[in-house]
Structure 1
Amino acid sequence: MPVGAWDSHMHVTSPDYPLAKSAAYKPSLHSLDHAMTFEKTIGVNNIVLVQPSIYGNDNSCLLDALKEIGPTRGRGVVGFDPDDIASDTLQKWHRLGVRGVRLNFKSTNEPFDPDTVKRTLRKYAAVVKPLDWVIELFVDLEQLRCMTEIIPELGVKICIAHFGAPDMKRWTSYPSDACNVPGMQHLTTLLSQADNLWVKLSAHYRYDLAVDEMAGSGAIAKLLLETAKDKMVFASDWPHTRFEGLDVKPFVSRCLDWTEEYDAKDLVFRDNAKRLWDCV
C-alpha cells in the first residue's frame, strides 16, 4: 500500500442517530474507531466519509466523525437540499473537511427522469462550484447516456461511484471485452473527453457475477485504467452495508495488482484522491 493512501468511500453509522423516513435498513454501530481499525488492516490512514442514504440530509453522524478525525486525514461527502442550504453552513462544513455532495439516483424509489436529473445537476453545481466541491453520483451505468452532454458543462468535478454500477447480468460476453458492458461506452467516452469526470473502483461485490474471482471487476478496472488512470480512485465501501461480514481484503489486493500492471498504484491509491478531494 502506498504511503499516504486514501480510502475514497466508506461510511460510519450508529443507531444513536435518527433515520430518514425513507431508510431501507437499520444500521448497526460502525463507528469511526471501528472504521480506523479496519483501515489499519489494509494500510490506509486517510478516509473519505460518504453520507449513507439511511440518514437522508441529516449529516450529523458523518460530521461528528469528521470533527474527530480532523481535516488532515479526513474528507466528507454530505447530502443537502440545494434549495434550502445556507452558504455559512457550507463554509462551516468546508472547514471540517467536507468536499462533496452525494446524489443517489440508484438506491432510491424515485423515477429517473432525464430532464429532472439535468436540472438537479445544474442546481447542485451552482451551489458547490464556489467551494470547488465534488458532485458524487450513484447512478446506473446506462443512465450516463442522458448526462454525456451536461457533465462537461457543469464546471465542477463529478465522481461516479462503484464502477458506475454496471449491470453485469446483461454483459453478453462476460467476463471478456469490458467494452460490451451496457453503458460502458458512455463512461469511457466521458473519461476521454471530459476533464472533470472521475470514477471510484469500489463495491465490486454489489455487481460482479463471480464475486470471489472478480473476473468482471478486473476486466472493467483494466479498461478504465487504460482509458484514464489519472482519474481513478480506490475505495473500500466499508462497512459494506447489507453485505456486512464481507472480507474486502482480496479486492484491495487485486486493486493493487491491477494498478501496478498499469503503473498507477500511487495514482489510484493516493495522488488522484488528493487532487479530487483537495488534500494539500
Structure 2
Amino acid sequence: MYRRNLLGASLAAVGGFALSGACSGAALPNGSAPTVDALPLDTPSLPNSALPTGSCDCHVHIFDAERYPFAVERSYTPGRAVVSDLLGFEGRLGIERVVVVQPSVYGIDNAALVAALKELGTYRARGVAVIDPGVTTEAELRTLHDHGVRGVRLNLEVKGQRDHAVALAQLQRAAQTVAPLGWSIQIYADVDVAAAMAPTIAKLPVPVILDHFAGVRVARQPEQQDAFETVLQLVKEGNVYVKLSAPYRASRQTPDFADIGPFAQQLIRTRPDRMLWASDWPHTGSASHRDGDLSRVEPFRKEDAGRALNNVLAWAETSSVRRQILVDNPARLYGFAATAS
C-alpha cells in the first residue's frame, strides 16, 4: 500500500540529556548565541510518485543553539533547524520515518539529539550518536538506546583523519563498545579511506554504514577507481550499508549530479538490500569553504532533496528495489516496526 503520510504535528518541547564528560559550550566564543532564525530552509520538490508506507530518511540533523549550545571546539556555526522544520520538510516528501544523526558541532554532547528523539517518538525516529568510548559509561549507552539511538558515527572527514592506523583504532574501539547493544557504526570518510579499512570492516561484529555514496568524489576518478572497487566488494559481502545521500558532496554537476549515477547504480545492483536513502537535511556547507570564523552563521546549502530522491527512485528501477531502499533496509538496520507492503 502506498500513501503520502504527513508527519506534521504540534509537539511539546522536552528537556535535554547530556553524557557525562560531554564537550558543550556557548554557541559563539564570547558566550552569546547566534541570530539564526532569519536563515531560510529549502522547500523540496515533490517526489514523482507516492512513496511506500514506512519510507525513511536515514540522515538528518537538528541544530538548536538556543536550547542546546554548540561545542566550543567546532569548525563552523550552523543556522537553526529544529524538529518542527524537519516535520514540515519530511511531510512534503511523504517520509514517515527519520534517522537523526549527531552533527559535529555538538561534539559528544547528545542532548539535542535525545531531545529531538523524544519529540519525534520511537515509532518514527531513531538516532545516531557521537560518543567517546573512554568516557561514555555503560549506563549512559543504555539510556541512549532507550531513547532510540541505534548507532554511533565516526566523522573522519570533518576531522581530516587520513591516518589509517588511527582511524582503524577508532573503528575497532567503537565496535567493541556498541556491539553488545546491537548498534551499527556510521563512517563519514572518502572512499580511499574506507577502502584502506576494508579488511577490518569486513571482520567487525557490527554493521557498518558508509555515508554519502561511500565517500566517492567523482572529480577524483579514475584515481579512486580501485578504492571504489574495493568498497563495492565489501558491500557485496554484506556487512556494509551505503547511504545514497548528499550527491552534492560527491559531484559538482548541479542540479542533477548525473555523473554520480553510474556509481549509485553499481552499488544498487550489487546489494539492493544494503542501500539506504537520506536527504542530509538541512544541507550543511563544506569544510573546504570554512575560514574558522565561528561568529559567522554559515547558511545552509540550497539543495533540492526531492529532486535527489527522484534520481534514487529512477536508479532503483523497480518498485521492489525502491521499497528495499526506502522501507525494508532502514527498518531492519535501525529496528523500526515492520510495515505492510
Q: Does TM, normalized by the shorter one, top 0.5? A: yes
1:170–1:182 Cα contact (<8 Å) kept: no
Give the Cα–Cα distance (whole angstroms) in 1 for the partners of residues 152 and 93 of structure 2: 26
**SS in structure 1 opposite 2:165?**
helix
Structure 1 position 263, deviation (Å): 4.2
Aligned to 2:7: none
The AA in structure 1 aligned to 2:89 is F
Aligned to 2:45: none
2:113 is the alignment partner of 1:62? yes
Equivalent positions of 1:85-100 (< 5 A) are 85-100=136-151
Which moves more between the two structures, 116-125 or 66-75?
116-125
Structure 1 position 278, deviation (Å): 1.6
Aligned to 2:47: none
2:190 is the alignment partner of 1:131? no
Equivalent positions of 1:73-92 (< 5 A) are 73-92=124-143
The AA in structure 1 aligned to 2:253 is A
Question: With structure 1 as the length reference, what TM-score do the two structures score?
Answer: 0.93
Structure 1 position 264, deviation (Å): 0.6
Aligned to 1:189: 233
Equivalent positions of 1:67-216 (< 5 A) are 67-109=118-160, 111-172=161-222, 181=225, 183-193=227-237, 195-216=238-259
Give the Cα–Cα distance (whole angstroms) in 2 for the partners of residues 83 and 279 of structure 1: 29
Report Cα offsets for 1:146-167 as digits up to 9, x if no partner. 2111112110010000002212
Match of 2:99 among 48, 51, 73: 48
The AA in structure 2 aligned to 1:12 is I
2:260 is the alignment partner of 1:217? yes
Task: Give the unaligned 5+ runs of structure 2.
Answer: 1-50, 286-299
Structure 1 position 22, deviation (Å): 3.0
Give the Cα–Cα distance (whole angstroms) in 2 for the partners of residues 270 and 20 of structure 1: 34
Report Cα offsets for 1:47-99 as digits up to 9, x if no partner. 00000011110111111010111111100000010111111111111111000
**SS in structure 2 opposite 1:239?**
coil
Structure 1 position 233, deviation (Å): 0.5
**SS in structure 1 opposite 2:284?**
coil
1:134–1:159 Cα contact (<8 Å) kept: yes
The AA in structure 1 aligned to 2:97 is N
The AA in structure 2 aligned to 1:233 is L
The AA in structure 2 aligned to 1:197 is V
Which moves more between the two structures, 68-77 or 248-257?
248-257
Report Cα offsets for 1:23-44 as digits up to 9, x if no partner. 2221211001100100011110
Structure 1 position 231, deviation (Å): 0.1
Give the Cα–Cα distance (whole angstroms) in 1 for the partners of residues 256 and 117 of structure 2: 35
Give the Cα–Cα distance (whole angstroms) in 2 for the partners of residues 8 and 74 of structure 1: 9
Aligned in 2, Cα 1:57/1:271: closer, same or farther, shift over 3 Å? same
Count of residues in Structure 1 that have an aligned counterpart in Structure 2: 272
Give the Cα–Cα distance (whole angstroms) in 1 for the partners of residues 196 and 228 of structure 2: 13
Structure 1 position 260, deviation (Å): 2.8
1:7–1:234 Cα contact (<8 Å) kept: yes
Give the Cα–Cα distance (whole angstroms) in 1 for the partners of residues 222 and 197 of structure 2: 24
2:56 is the alignment partner of 1:6? yes
Report Cα offsets for 1:217-254 as digits up to 9, x if no partner. 21111010111111000001000012433222111111
Question: With structure 2 as the length reference, what TM-score do the two structures score?
Answer: 0.77
Give the Cα–Cα distance (whole angstroms) in 1 for the partners of residues 253 and 57 of structure 2: 24
1:141–1:182 Cα contact (<8 Å) kept: no
Structure scoring higher RCO (CA < 8 A, sep ≥ 6) equals 2
